Amino acid sequence: MTAEEAASWIRPGMTVAVSGFARAGEARAVLGAWVALQEQLGEKGQIDLLTGASMSDPVDGELARRGLLHKRAPFQANSDLRAAINRGEVLFVDEHLSHMRESFEDGVWRRPDIAILDAVDVREEGIVPTTSVGNAALFAKLAEKVIIEWNQGQPPALIGMHDIYDPGPWGHREPIPLTRPEQRIGTPVIPVDWSKVVAVVKTDSPDRHAPMKSGDAQTEGIAGHLMEFFAHEVRKGRLPLPLPPLQAGIGAVANAVFQSFLDVPWSGLTVYSEVIQDSMFDLFDSGQLSFASASAIILSKEKAPQVMGELNRYRDRILLRPQDISNNPGIIRRLGVVAINTGLEVDIYGNVNSTHVLGSNIMNGVGGSGDFSRHARLSVFVARSAVKGGAISSIVPMVSHTDHTEHEVDVVVTEHGLADLRGLAPRERAPLIIEHCADPAYRDELREYYKEALKRGGHTPHVLERAFSFHQRFLEHGSMQVRSQSVGRC
């Protein structure tokens, strides 16, 4: 049937589960038709929307702008949805990406009323997903009704690139038999109970490609320090060659880090991550990356035509898995993954805020960073030392929101340097982070803060009445720098 006909199955108050992960493999035609139907009827009925990760603007943005969202989980990255969340108009559940299966099993989330799933092929035994798996297999299993968007806009070469595995209910699980990134443990098809399928909608819907900012001096500096660190760890015998499987978050910094592997003489690299992005295909082409396992392929608009047009060249070196496998803590620990994630701010003891601006306003969400940082062989957090033209320091006395505690942060890297925090007490960590990672414009004040904190004593010394002085100064004067107090916002 048409998307407009299928949209009539969606009712206000429903929990709607949709395939999609960081704009990849998202089913958006039926939701788009439902938005148009609400507009036509003059209605503002709201739904709860569950996905794998973030969705593109025609889904997250449009639903937010029209006031059609009641609750959203587990991740988002849309400016209009973000604004609606911070205004309190949309309830957002910021959940670790690996946790949704268990949340359903425990009844925290009720079974979806409808699952809408993107498919490149439809078969008797089920559907073949497109450029992401995410939570699609879970939604197909749990939803009361299923709508399939049979997507003619995705390349048939995707068929055979997926590995769908159901770990079963917790408390009764066998060990997941995955010991190498390239190992196939499941099937290439998501099983579907056809008695639940109420519509099949043919679409022609290529991915809306993720924006990818170009690298700059800061990202190149971060990548350079990290490559030097990896080389040092190899020389010391703390990292083997080939390197353990690598993970990286989404964005310009992560992309620049992987791009830097092109400049080192290492081969046999593997990836066990959430996403496969632009620079990883460059490493495939150079022969340095041998295999990548993830839950989604996300590409810039510049890179997408080449990769999707030549997907047959890569298909035997990629597996796409459900996110409760790609982000499974036990597998991450078993494989000894080296995790590289991004922080918004880091405090002088190594606690990381990756989700909130000035402690209150959500940016995107924790995503899968916690799945990896808590269980990785080596947990690295990268950040620009300062942003907004230097008005905001990413190194602060105390983070305004904590997503990753000092106990799961091994290494902090900015364009100015790297702090290896392993085996260090808080009093050893602070000077290292201040001297190696902070922007020079903020070091003197951070040194003075730490000096005063030492006089107060304690295992992790702080001056509580000044702990958020950087943030307070920004709120009052538009900059965290001391000199800005005399010039205001000029």
Give per-residue pLDDT as tens, 357-386: 999 999 999 999 999 999 999 999 999 999
pLDDT, tens digit (0-9, with 9 covering 90-100), for 400-440: 999 999 999 999 999 999 999 999 999 999 999 999 999 99
Q: Is 338 annotated as a binding residue?
A: no
The mean per-residue pLDDT over the stretch 333-346 comes to 97
Q: Is 222 annotated as a binding residue?
A: no
Q: Is 389 annotated as a binding residue?
A: no
Label residue 489 by pLDDT band (50, 70, 90): very low
Q: Is 127 annotated as a binding residue?
A: no
42 or 440: whose pLDDT is higher? 440
Q: Is 250 annotated as a binding residue?
A: yes
Strand order in the sheet with 246-248: 318-320, 289-294, 269-272, 246-248, 338-342, 378-382, 411-414, 417-420
Residue 49 near residue 22, CB atoms below 8 Å: no
pLDDT of residue 215: 78
User: Alpha carbon 252 to chain centroid distance?
Assistant: 13
Q: Is 196 annotated as a binding residue?
A: no
User: Alpha carbon 121 to chain centroid distance?
Assistant: 27
Round the average pLDDT of the chain to a whole number and report it.
95
Residue 253 near residue 217, CB atoms below 8 Å: no
Residue 466 near residue 396, CB atoms below 8 Å: no
pLDDT, tens digit (0-9, with 9 covering 90-100), for 218-266: 999 999 999 999 999 999 999 999 999 999 988 788 888 899 999 998 9
Q: Is 312 annotated as a binding residue?
A: no
Cα separation, 484 vs 481, whole angstroms: 6
Label residue 23 by pLDDT band (50, 70, 90): very high
Report cis status (omega within 30 of 0) of the bond before 58.
Answer: no
State yes or no: pLDDT of 488 exceeds 70.
no
pLDDT of residue 256: 87
State yes or no: pLDDT of 477 exceeds 70.
yes
- 177 to 173, 200, 331, 335, 449: CA distances (angstroms): 11, 34, 9, 12, 50
* Domains, in order of start, for the chain: 3-203 (3.40.1080.10), 217-477 (3.40.1080.10)
Active-site residue numbers? Answer: 274
Q: What angle do CA 287, 292, 294 make, to 5 degrees?
A: 160
The mean per-residue pLDDT over the stretch 141-170 comes to 97
Percentage of the chain exceeding pLDDT 70: 98
Q: Is 253 annotated as a binding residue?
A: yes
pLDDT of residue 487: 39
Least confident of 2-11, 39-48, 322-331, 433-442: 39-48
The mean per-residue pLDDT over the stretch 352-361 comes to 97
State yes or no: pLDDT of 52 exceeds 90.
yes
State yes or no: pLDDT of 484 exceeds 60.
no
